[in-house]
Structure 1
Amino acid sequence: MKLNSNIKIFGENVVLVPYRELHVEKYHLWMKSEELQMLTASEPLSLEQEYQMQKSWREDEDKCTFIILDKIKFIRDGDEIGAMIGDTNIFIKDSDSSTGEIEIMIAEKTARGKRRGQEAVILMLLYGIKDINLKHFEAKISLNNLISISMFQKLGFEEISRSDVFQEVTLGKTVSGEWTEWLHKQYLYKIQPH
């Protein structure tokens, strides 16, 4: 999405930056992991396909993706590649552009269990509400990804549907002023030019 192509979102522990070509090789290495493929319901892509996918996420108006950086590493070293820990994205689902499907992946095992994913999701939700004007969010999660299911439930998402065929659950949340205010209280949120 071109809307997010020139910004960085700073939180307390993470920084969200647009998914650019320079991130693709490390992202491609992550996605060779069978564990990540299973948790994200993804198929392995060739490096060339990954570059095409990155371009699609950057150019298509219904897709918004950010790479998640460890803020301390990024500020200390100024190196986006070395600070990469995962990604988060929103896919605009409906014709009136009011519903976004949100996804999160913390690929670096050393960054897991530290609430970096939760912080990145909150920053992405706030961006979706304020800058994309989304009114409803959905998250489709593998039934065996109990950590992600629990995290989204703690953020107020509730089960909408369950598919035994696809082995996933769909959680949803409608945006309200009260919920948006609660999200703002969880983490600092600051947008800067990239």
Structure 2
Amino acid sequence: MRLNQNILLLGKKVVLVPYTSEHVPRYHEWMKSEELQRLTASEPLTLEQEYAMQRSWREDVDSGDLIDSPSECTFIVLDADKWRAQPGPPEESCMAGDVNLFLTDRGDPTLGEIEVMIAEPSCRGRGLGTEAVLMMLSYGVTKLGLTTFEAKIGQDNEPSLRMFQKLHFEQVAVSSVFREVTLRLTVSQPQRQWLLEQTSHVQEQPYRGGTSEPL
């Protein structure tokens, strides 16, 4: 999605950057994990297929009309502590996971499906996923005009279910066929205020590519 291809979002624990070709090899290695395939309901891809997926995201055109042009907004999640290290290390060595917004409902351009993956084992249990989701929710509300978010999570993924419930998502459906729970957050005015307060520390900066150092 070109809307965020030149944007870096800097939080306390994570840095969100656009998905570039530099990130593909590490991402591809992660997705060889059967556990991650199960948790994300993903099929393994070849390295060439992963590069093609990255290019398709990069070349996605934002028409400004989400009804006619469903899109995906993807950020790679970087460990902020590693990213801030001096001298700045390559982004690939800072990668923790990814966070996505899928804008695919032709009937409701204010609805986004959100998902997050903290793939790097050393980065789990440290609150990186929570901050990444909060930052993505805020981005969706303020930049994309979204007012409703859904998260579809495997029934066995208890840590993810707990995290989204702590962020005020409520269960609205269960699929026994896909063994999946759908959670939803409708952003009322109080919810919007709470969300903006939770992300008031986040800084938006221009993205200078995978070799950029902290500004």
TM-score under structure 1 length normalisation: 0.96
CA displacement at 1:72 relative to structure 2: 1.4
Provide the rounded CA distance (Å) in 2 between the counterparts of 1:101 and 1:59.
21
The Cα of 1:176 is off from its aligned counterpart by 1.8
> Which residue of 2 is the match for residue 80 of structure 1?
91
Shift of 1:175: 1.3
1 CA distance for matches of 2:92 and 2:129? 18
* 1:7 equivalent in structure 2: 7
Larger CA deviation: 95-104 vs 54-63:
54-63
Shift in Å, 1:98: 1.0
Q: Which residue of 1 aligns with 2:132?
A: 120
Q: Which runs of 4+ in 1 moved over 4 A?
A: none
Q: Letter of the aligned partner of 1:84 in structure 2?
A: M
Contact 1:160 1:172 in 2 (8 A): yes
Q: What CA distance in whole angstroms lies between the structure 1 residues aligned with 2:98 and 2:144?
A: 18
* Matched residue SS, 2:48: helix
In structure 1, the residue matched to 2:59 is 59
Cα distance per residue 1:2-31 (max 9 Å; x no partner): 000000001111100000111001000000
Q: Report the number of matched residues.
A: 194
2:101 to 90, 107, 116: 90
Across the aligned residues of Structure 1 and Structure 2, the Cα RMSD in angstroms comes to 1.1
Contact 2:13/2:127, CA 8 A, preserved across alignment: no
| Aligned 8 A contact 1:65 1:89 in 2 | yes
Matches within 5 A, 1:129-148: 129-148=141-160
**CA contact 1:14–1:116 (8 Å) conserved in 2:** yes
Q: Name the amino acid aligned to 1:157.
A: F
CA contact under 8 A between 1:58 and 1:65: conserved in structure 2? no
1:167 and 2:156 equivalent? no
TM-score by length of structure 2 reads: 0.87
The question of 1:193 aligning with 2:206 is answered yes
1:75 CA displacement: 1.6
Identity of aligned residues (%): 55
**Any idea what SS the aligned residue of 1:165 has?**
coil
Q: Displacement of 1:184 after TM fit? A: 2.5
Cα distance, 1:59 vs structure 2: 2.7
Structure 2 letter corresponding to 1:67? I
Deviations 1:26-63 (A, max 9, x none): 00000000011011111100111111111222233411
Quick check: 1:70 aligned with 2:83? no
Amino acid at match of 2:38: M
Q: Aligned AA for 2:193? A: E
Residue 90 of structure 1 contacts residue 101 of structure 1 at CA under 8 Å; is this kept in 2? yes
Residue from 175, 179, 186 that aligns with 2:191: 179
User: Is the deviation greater in 149-158 or in 177-186?
Assistant: 177-186
C-alpha distance after superposition, 1:45-86 (max 9, x if no partner): 011111111122223341100000011111212421110000
Q: Give the superposition deviation at 1:131.
A: 0.6
Gaps of 5+ in 1: none
- The one-letter amino acid paired with 2:93 is G
Alpha-carbon distance in 1 for matches of 2:187, 2:104: 15
